[in-house]
Amino acid sequence: MHKFDPANIELLIGEERYKGMDPLEFLRSNGLIQGMYIADVGCGPGFFTLPASEIVGESGKVYAVDSQENMLKALKRRKPTGNTTIVQSDESHIPIEDGSCDMVLLAFVLHEAEEKLVFLNELKRLLRPEGRLILLDWEKKIEEKGPSFEERIEKAEAVRLIERAGLEIEETGNINPSHYKIAVRKKQEA
C-alpha cells in the first residue's frame, strides 16, 4: 500500500491540522492518563506522540513507532522528551515486548498497512490484558483531502478485521464527517 510521503509532513503537523483537532484533548478524552504506557503506531512526525508524552509524564512511557525512517527523523527534530522511546518497525513486526501497553493508538495508519490482519494481530500482542486500541481512519468516500478512495478502508471492513484478529469492539463512531473512530479492547477471558 501507498505510504504517506514524508515530504508532506507539514500536512501532519501544520497549523491547519491543529485547527481541526486538539490531540491532547483527544487522548485525554479517550482515557490516556498519567503513568500509562502507550504505543503510537505509525506515529509520523508526532502529532499525537508529543501530547501523549505530556499526559503520561515521567512515570509513563510513549513508544513512537513508525516503519519509515524519515518520519522518525522528523519526530526526533521535534525533540520528544525522555519518556519517549523511538522504535523503527518493519511492516508487520514491532520490536516491543508482549503485553507492554495500556493503549495502542493507530491514527490514520490501517489503510496503509500491507497485511492488515497480521498487523492487527501484532498490535494485539502489544496490549496488556486491560489494554485498549484506539483506531482512527478515513471514511471511504471521495474527498479533496486525504488518501484516494481506493486506498481508504471502510469502517465496517476495519471492524470485521479487528474481530477476526480476536479483539473486541468497544465503540465505533465518528470524530467528524471524514474520520471514524473505533475503540477496541482485548477479549476478556470468561
Stretch that binds ligand SAM, among 40-48, 51-59, 137-145, 149-157 (CB under 6 A): 40-48
Q: Does 71 bind ligand SAM (CB under 6 A)?
A: yes
Residues between 104 and 143 with contacts to ligand SAM, criterion CB under 6 A: 107-109, 112-113, 119
Among 36, 62, 89, 161, binds ligand SAM (CB under 6 A): 89
Which residue number, 37 or 47, has a Cβ lying nearer to ligand SAM? Answer: 47
Shortest spacing between CB 79 and ligand SAM, in angstroms: 17
Shortest spacing between CB 189 and ligand SAM, in angstroms: 28
Count of positions on this chain that bind ligand SAM (CB under 6 A): 22
The answer for residues whose C-beta is within 8 angstroms of residue 47's C-beta and 6 or more apart is 12, 13, 17, 23, 107
Binding site for ligand SAM (CB under 6 A): 3-4, 12, 41-44, 47-48, 65-68, 71, 89, 91, 107-109, 112-113, 119
